[in-house]
Structure formats: structure tokens, C-alpha cells
Structure 1
Amino acid sequence: MSLLVFANVVLRYGFDSGIAFSVEVSRVLFVWIIFLGAVVALARGAHLSVDTLVTLLPRRARFACFLVSYGLMLWCCWLLAKGSWSLTVIEWNNRAALSGLPVGLTYAAGFVAAITMALCLIVGLWHSLRGTLPGTWAGRNATEPHETVLPALSSEKMQ
């Protein structure tokens, strides 16, 4: 996508020509990259979270908040999947003017992301029901450094 846009800019301003379909193709690729990046961030637990209240709660209350939170996120995934699928079906037979790509391909990114995020959330729920909560929900504070002891440092302290 970057090469396509760069080549189009060079051709447009340097040679007074350009790649006609580059704007449409780069827009579709950008939407797909954003949605797939959101899936990766969810899978890694890298989305922003405010855990001020959750860390103060006892374990059972944290677990209840975890279940409510994941339930709401699954509901949002359902809404995103339903809406994206509807728009994909509606727009699939419409073609972009220059590239000829189906317009529904852009909306399909939301559908794929919603399904993949829902799977990640279901796996997280499965692990939590088996006793393993993710970091914040388990009561670990993300600002505290992890306790790791390097072998070289522990042997130096012993001398």
C-alpha cells in the first residue's frame, strides 16, 4: 500500500501522470489493515484500559466485571458482524469506478474482524472459566515491573 501511494505521488507530481486505481485500492487496504490490527491488539491484550476501579475490587467482583465486560464486547462484535455483513451483501455487486473492486470488500473487513475478535473473546472466556484471568482482571497492576531475577545479578548479590 505504501509503495502504491508513493509511486502514485511521484508519478503525479514528477511526471504529470499517475496510477488511476491507487486511491481506491489503498483505501480498501487501509481499512483491512486497521481492522486486522484491532484484532491483533485484542488478541495480545494491547487495547487501552482503565483499571482503577477493577484493581480495588475483590476477586469475585473482578470476575463478575470480567464476565460483564466480555459479554458486552461479544455483543458489540455481534452488532459489528451483523452490520458489516448487511453492508457487504448490499454493496458487493457495486464496483469501484477505477479499480473495479467490489465496494462490499471494504465492509467485509469489519465482518472478518468481528468474527475473529469474537473468537478471541470466546477463548478468553474459556480460559477464565478454567481459572486463568487476563492480567488486569487477575489483580496484577500493569505499572508494577514483573519480578524477574537475572542469574548474573543474583550471583553478584550473593558474594
Structure 2
Amino acid sequence: MSGHYQPKGPVGAFVNTLEEGIIAFLLGAMTLLTFTNVILRYGFNSSIIWSLEVVLTMFAWLVLFGIAYGFKVTAHLGVDAITNLLPPRPRKIVAMIAALLCVFYGVLLLKGCYDYWAPFADLPPTSGRWFPTGFDTSVRSASFFETDQIPMLSWLRFLEDWVNYGERYSKMPRLIPYTMLPIAGGLILFRIVQATVRIWRNDAASLIVSHEAEDAVAEAALLNRDT
């Protein structure tokens, strides 16, 4: 697998462009906020007090969103030195076992992401140690928790009635940055299932293998030989 992904159809192209746009926006916004804060701090002895927390939040979003995107474009590193020695059929069996284990992990991850996020949204987390067996309504709501410095946006005031029982937020509730957890968990599981289907249909030889490091070493060796 080369790690290069070609979207299929207009819907696939739109989704791919949207995902890449989100990643580019997060990177750009993080860079702009950090650069602006440096200029303000060293040039005007001032700062945007909430910028560091926003940058940290965006970085967490970027990592979580990027994990799912990496599964999609097969950009994650994988060790296939042994599996490449196997004949095609045993290699596919090993790849399917690895894929199913990743699906199992994705289910656990999604459950953990939702269970952590749910109290901040005034929702009950799931019960059950491994798989959801229901909802635990005895867990206390954590919807009143706020971020440290991020200001509350006026167009999000509806959350005060929806999840905070009418109490006013002085800062943005943690619900907002933590919402990326179930979104990313769902996306990661979805992309793993997609990769598993590709292996089953013989459209891919392995789940997530990128040979970028191997290609870089080969390119460096070629340059050294030429010089």
C-alpha cells in the first residue's frame, strides 16, 4: 500500500475535500493564533488569554480527526515484514484477523469516548464493562463544568436551557470541546470497518500499511549512490 487515496465518485470527492479542509483549517487556525499571541506578547506586552486553551483544544481535535483520516488513506505505519513472506491466502487471513481486532478495539474506543462525553452533555453513559448493556442513569451530570478561559459564544446560549437547567455559563462549557470524542470515535470505527471490507473484497492487501519510511530510505540510498 502506498498510502495514496483516490476518492470514488462526487460524494467521495466531496467528503475527502471536506475532511482535508477541516484538517487544513485546524492547522491554519492553530498557527495563526499562536503567531498572533507571540507578536502580542513580545511586541505589545499583551496576549489573548484564551488562545492557549483554544490551540490545545484544536490540537486534540486534529489528532483525533487525523487518526480517522489516517485509516481512510492508509497513512498509518504498519509492520508487514513477516506477512509479506506468506502466500496470498494466509496473508489475507492474517490481515482479516488484524482488521477484526481493530474493529473490536474501535468499538471499545467508541464506547469509552461516549461514556466520557455523555455526562458533560447531561446524558447517561452506557453500562457494561466491555459492550453497552444499557444506560447508567445514576451518573451525576457534569454539564455545569466550564473551560478555563474560552469565552462563551452568544449563539451557544441555548445550551444553558438544554443541558445546564437554565444556569448561565460564564465560560464555554466543556461539552463543546469534548464533543469531538464521540465524533472521532465513530469516525475511527467507521474507517476501520471500511478498511476491513476492502481487505475482504481483495481491494487491499492489509489494513493500514504505509511505506513512506521505507521509500524515504530507498530514496536516500539512491541519492547517496548517485553522489
Deviates more, 1:1-10 or 1:82-91: 82-91
Which of the residues 170, 184, 189 maps onto 1:118?
189
Where in structure 2 are there 5+ consecutive unaligned residues? 1-29, 122-142, 151-170, 216-227
2:52 pairs with 1:23: yes
Which structure has the higher relative contact order (CA within 8 Å, separation 6+)? 2
Q: What TM-score do the two structures reach when normalised by structure 2?
A: 0.55
2:179 pairs with 1:128: no
Identity of aligned pairs, percent? 27
Alpha carbons 1:84, 1:107 under 8 Å: kept: no
Counterpart Cα distance in 1 of 2:114 and 2:173: 14
Alpha carbons 2:95, 2:206 under 8 Å: kept: no
Alpha carbons 1:12, 1:18 under 8 Å: kept: yes
Count of residue pairs the alignment pairs up: 140
Q: What TM-score do the two structures reach when normalised by structure 1?
A: 0.76
Bigger proportion of residues as helix: 1
Which residue of 2 is the match for residue 65 of structure 1? 94
Counterpart Cα distance in 1 of 2:101 and 2:173: 32
Tell me the amino acid that sits aligned with residue 94 of structure 2.
C
Deviates more, 1:96-105 or 1:63-72: 96-105
SS in 2 for 1:48: coil
Which residue of 2 is the match for residue 95 of structure 1? 146
SS in 2 for 1:115: helix
Alpha carbons 2:147, 2:173 under 8 Å: kept: yes
1:48-84 CA distance string (max 9 Å, x none)? 1110110011222111111111111112212221111
Tell me the amino acid that sits aligned with residue 11 of structure 1.
L
Counterpart Cα distance in 2 of 1:86 and 1:118: 16
Alpha carbons 2:109, 2:185 under 8 Å: kept: yes
